């Protein structure tokens, strides 16, 4: 038998066999499952006491909540935005979707794209640290009127520098998401320093608003 004919006769049954796959599809195992544990664990999910570093994972999907992070106590708290909302007694930064405010701190965007390279530099970057500003048109709490150009905002402090960690381009639909991948230095009001980097803004299923933040606190040289 000619090799060509033999080849075809061997291939033909294979193709026919492959033509009768499972009812609801084939090769599902080539895909990954979302990391289940990431869905439910929030807060300081990793801490390294030796290096003063770790990872915070928060659910910031809601437009109507602030999530407060306290680097001193390694705690996270979340509150519904309202006129009579009382902020926690101790906190350092707070996150609403991708917006950030600080508790009397100032922030500098660095050129570093990793905490390890920042640490290796052996110094706290110098520059124009930016404090919070009072805003009336940054913190969107109701998106339902967006189609008519009528968004509802909450008045709030807002840190323009730290909020650069994720640029959301709303000129297209759906919006484009461009993380800066940079390290930000936060001078807290007690003059201690934290370094943070937004590692991810989605959960393992790709849902946006789940923020994974790597940090060093206190950052000392």
Degrees, nearest 5: CA angle 212-43-51: 75
Residue 191's H or E segment, with its range, is none
Least distance from C-beta 218 to other proteins, angstroms?
Answer: 26
Question: Residue 98 or residue 217: which is nearer to other proteins going by CB?
Answer: 98
Whole-number Å distance between alpha carbons of 13 and 16: 5
Question: Residue 138 or residue 187: which is nearer to other proteins going by CB?
Answer: 138
- State how far Cα 161 lies from the chain centre: 16
Least distance from C-beta 178 to other proteins, angstroms?
Answer: 6
Question: Residue 171 or residue 191: which is nearer to other proteins going by CB?
Answer: 171
- Taking every pair of Cα atoms in the chain, the longest distance, rounded to a whole number of angstroms, is 87
* Strand 176-179 with 183-187, pairing: unpaired
Least distance from C-beta 209 to other proteins, angstroms?
Answer: 8
Contact 211, 201 (CB under 8 A): yes
| Rama region for 186: left / alpha / beta (φ>0; ψ in -120 to 50; rest) | beta
Question: Residue 3 or residue 122: which is nearer to other proteins going by CB?
Answer: 3
Whole-number Å distance between alpha carbons of 63 and 208: 12
Contact 194, 110 (CB under 8 A): no
Contact 157, 189 (CB under 8 A): no
Least distance from C-beta 194 to other proteins, angstroms?
Answer: 21
Dihedral sign computed on CA atoms, order 205, 206, 211, 213: positive
Least distance from C-beta 217 to other proteins, angstroms?
Answer: 22
Catalog residues that contact other proteins under the rule CB under 8 A: 2, 4-5, 7-9, 11-12, 15-16, 18-21, 23-28, 30-35, 61, 63, 143-144, 146-148, 169, 171-179, 199-202, 204-206, 209, 212
Question: Residue 31 or residue 134: which is nearer to other proteins going by CB?
Answer: 31
Least distance from C-beta 26 to other proteins, angstroms?
Answer: 6
Question: Residue 6 or residue 73: which is nearer to other proteins going by CB?
Answer: 6
């Amino acid at each position: 038998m000619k090799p060509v004919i033999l080849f075809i006769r061997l291939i033909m049954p294979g193709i026919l066999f492959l033509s009768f796959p499972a009812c609801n599809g084939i090769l599902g195992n080539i895909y990954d499952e979302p990391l289940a544990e990431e869905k439910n664990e929030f807060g300081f999910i990793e801490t390294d006491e030796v290096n003063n570093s770790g990872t915070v994972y928060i659910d910031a999907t809601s437009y109507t909540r602030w999530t407060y992070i306290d680097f001193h106590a390694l705690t996270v708290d979340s509150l519904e935005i309202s006129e009579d909302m009382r902020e926690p007694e101790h906190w350092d930064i707070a996150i609403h979707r991708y917006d950030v405010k600080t508790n009397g701190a100032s922030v500098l965007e660095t050129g570093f794209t990793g905490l390890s390279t920042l640490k290796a530099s052996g110094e706290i970057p110098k520059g124009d640290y930016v404090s919070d500003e009072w805003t009336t048109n940054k913190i969107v709490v109701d998106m339902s009127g967006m189609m008519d150009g009528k968004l509802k905002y909450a008045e709030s402090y807002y840190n323009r520098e730290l909020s650069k960690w994720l640029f959301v381009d709303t000129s297209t639909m759906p919006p484009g998401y461009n993380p800066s991948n940079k390290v930000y230095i936060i001078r807290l009001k007690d003059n201690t320093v934290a370094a943070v980097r937004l590692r991810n803004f989605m959960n393992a299923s790709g849902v946006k608003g789940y923020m994974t933040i790597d940090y060093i606190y206190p950052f000392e040289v």
